Amino acid sequence: MIDLHTHLLPEVDDGSDSLEESASIIAQMLESGVSDIVLTPHFVRGLYQTTYALKKSKLEQLNSFLHDQALSVNIILGAEIYLEPDIWREIEEEHLEIAGTDYLLVETGLYAFPGNLYEILSGLLKRGFKPILAHPERYADIVRQPQLAEDLIQRDIILQANSGSFLGYYGREVQKTVWEMIKNRFIHLIASDTHHIWDSYPGSQAASAISKYFNNDLTRLLMVDNPRNILSNRRIELSY
């Protein structure tokens, strides 16, 4: 499995608080069959604005700590970008894309989409970025109206569900929404959005539940093939 959304770069956001914590979470993920992890610290104007230089040095520290612990995993730098008008400036200056690709992981207000959401997203598309909306199933607007997901897809927005949503970790409404979305093929990839250690890594349980309800091919597409294509900066199919 490839996990494209995690908060495991220590001390830069509300995720992992130390190298030790990151290493124990990564050990748990390795045991669950994860081979590649994208670190996506929050980038929120006025709240979390860690510079690229600091993130790079923390990435190096983490890599050497993992090496000392004999934990072999491919870790890649990205960000989870809170959408704002003109956010492309920070994206370009601070290299907020998923390393080496045109793909961006983005988020917005959980309780209400901003009125200019489509405008901001189309501005990013025009600049050649490929936005991936994190956990669409958690947005109140989509819970009320899952068809909004189709609207986003038609505008070339990629949708990333959280594995915990399939298991009810964010409540029944979100769980109902994500299953409805996957039935309609409105999900393009699944990631964990891990902040801290789990009782058990939700990726494995979500994979079994999806394989049981649908089939292994769909699980593979959403947890291995599409994430791998994103990391290789290849196109993924939005309608399938």
CB-CB contact of 38 with 73 (8 Å): no
User: What kind and span of H or E run contains 37?
Assistant: strand 36-39
Separation of alpha carbons 37 and 40, rounded Å: 9
Considering only residues 142-181, where is the footprint of Fe ion by CB under 5 A?
Answer: none
Q: Site map for Fe ion, 179-208, x if CB under 5 A?
A: --------------x---------------
Q: Which is nearer to Fe ion, 44 or 218 (CB)?
A: 44
Closest contact distance (angstroms) between CB of 215 and Fe ion is 28
Q: How far is the CB of 45 from Fe ion (least distance, A)?
A: 16
Query: What does the per-residue mask of binding to Fe ion show for 61-100, with x meaning CB under 5 A?
Result: -------------------x--------------------
Query: Hey, which residues does 160 pair with through a beta bridge?
Result: 134, 189
Closest separation in Å from C-beta 181 to Fe ion = 18
Query: Does residue 137 belong to the site contacting Fe ion (CB under 5 A)?
Result: no
Q: Phi and psi of 71, rounded to 5°?
A: -100, 115
Q: Pull the structure tokens for residue 238.
A: 């939005």
The SS3 assignment for 106 reads strand
| CB 5, min distance to Fe ion, A | 6
Closest by CA to 232, choosing from 74, 115, 120, is 74
Place of tokens 């997203």: 121
Residues 212-231 that bind Fe ion (CB under 5 A): none
CB-based contacts of 125: which residues, under 8 Å, 6+ apart? 131, 155, 156
Shortest CB 202 distance to Fe ion, Å: 13
Residue 13 as a binder of Fe ion (CB under 5 A): the answer is: no
Residues in contact with Fe ion by the rule CB under 5 A = 80, 193
